[in-house]
Amino acid sequence: MTPTRRDFIKFVVAGSIAAGCPIDLSLLASPGDIEPQVDGEHFEICHQVRDGKTFAHPPVSKTHDVVIVGGGISGLSAAYFLRSKDFLLLEKEEHWGGNAYREDFQGQGYATASAYDFVASDSAVLAKEIGLEQLPVNFPDPTIINGKWVADTWRGGLDELPYPQPVRDAFKKFRAEMLKLGATKKLERLDSEPLSKYLQDYPPELTAWWDAYGQSNWGAKAKDTSVYVALDDFVEIANEKFEDTRITLPGGNGAITRKLSEVLLAKFSDRMFTGATTISVDPQKDSVNVTYALGGQLQTVAAKAVIMAAPKIIASRIVSGIPDDQIDAMQSIRYSPYPVINMIFDKPVYNRGYDTWCPGNSFTDFIVADWTIRNQPGYKQKYNILTFYTPMQEKDRKKLLTIEGCQKIATDVLTDFKKLLPEFNVDPIEIHMFRRGHPMFVATPGNFTKTIPAARKPLDRVFFANTDSEGPESLAAGGVAASKKGADWVEKRLAGTSSRRAAESVGFAV
């Protein structure tokens, strides 16, 4: 950074707020210098719907086979699977991708969430079909604790943890007991119990590690985590025979949604609208009326079927005719506020591991954006982009609504990062922050086996397809799996199959 630009770090957050946002320089090791900018999710109309505002419903202007509400990975893949039909795709943001959204800096891609995929998952199969070759991560997760970098945390790394021997022994004992428990496959019982029950007799360092890991992966600290969900991950990361099946590209799963949007827009741009906020979904006798705001105007269209590729917290408020017990289930699903921060460095700062865990900090972990392509022939890393995952407690969601709140989150992350290791005490040239209020459903006890099945039941002409229709945690693969089921259900409904039989055919009890 030049001596004449020492007043601000450029701070960019994608979306509806755009203003200068200086970082509190007293918290930095040395002053930043780059002009600030803030931006965020579009939430104004959504909050009006949440608060019960009544909107006019214009007469129906057009009819479609299917309307898809939500242009994230679920909605885009649903449109792709239904591209032979007359579909209309509506997305409230000005871009496609939802939580799986790729950004670029000087041609270098990075993720704003949803960092990786898995070999042979529904999303990986779709990625390959549309021409993407996701590359293997092929590296166990390290952890930085008390100033020490520990490779392969849950296997050989346990002997390297900077803790007293009794604490290291407790980590080993916990690993053995949880792997044994995971082999029992008692799904419903384990899903009904909190992970904290199994941590209560262990040192607090174990809970601290799980609080970070759980918040990042499924939005919950140990006390709010289903044991089944924790074990579903743990049996892989802690097993000596573990094979890393993670795959990704710069931009994470945003690489998939970008390619999907390009493929679809090439043929169907007249039926795909961004900046279109859905106000209501009203089932009629033989159709569904969908009212949405676009360009300051309200429009209503009719559809033979609707796919709600949006979280249940939204669906429960805009879809009419949902039974009371199903609304209760939808609204009992909790969602984690989850900003993601990308720090852009103009020199190498960290390339030692793909996903590095940092329990006890204002962020849970961070990844190297170009990890999978760093060794590709001819590739040269011009910028070292590190993506910091910063899940928040639900009570702190309001901090994302103000410039000052976003400013404080970014400052805390940068401050904590600089303290981890001596070589991290450097300034980025830019900080990019993407704030999301409700992106990830929280994997609470009972959510997977009880709440999700009750919340996802389709109506006569409305199918609920989103990551929170699948589980056990919020994954891009779950979003694509839900959309495949939704597309199959729509095909059957358009062919005259009853909603109940169509739902049963995709494995949904009604």
pLDDT of residue 493: 98
Q: What is the pTM of this model?
A: 0.91
List all residues 6 or more positions away from 311 whose beta carbon is below 8 Å from its beta carbon. 333, 335, 438, 441, 466, 468
Let me know: does 300 contact 61? Beta carbons within 8 Å. yes
β-pairing, 297-308 vs 288-294, is antiparallel
Amino acid at the residue 89: L
- In 178-187, which positions are buried (b, 16+ CB within 10 angstroms) versus exposed (e)? bbebbeeeee
| Torsion sign (Cα): 152, 156, 162, 166 | positive
Largest Cα separation within the chain, whole Å, is 72
List, in sequence order, every residue forming a beta bridge with 356; answer none if it has no partner: 366
Q: For residue 433, which phi and psi values (nearest 5 degrees)?
A: -120, 135
Spell out, as residue ranges, where the chain has pLDDT lower than 70.
1-9, 13-55
pLDDT of residue 104: 95
pLDDT of residue 45: 52
Instruction: Count Cβ atoms below 10 Å from residue 175 Cβ, excluding itself.
Output: 18
pLDDT of residue 177: 95
**Residue 67 and residue 253: Cα distance in Å, rounded?**
24
pLDDT of residue 3: 31
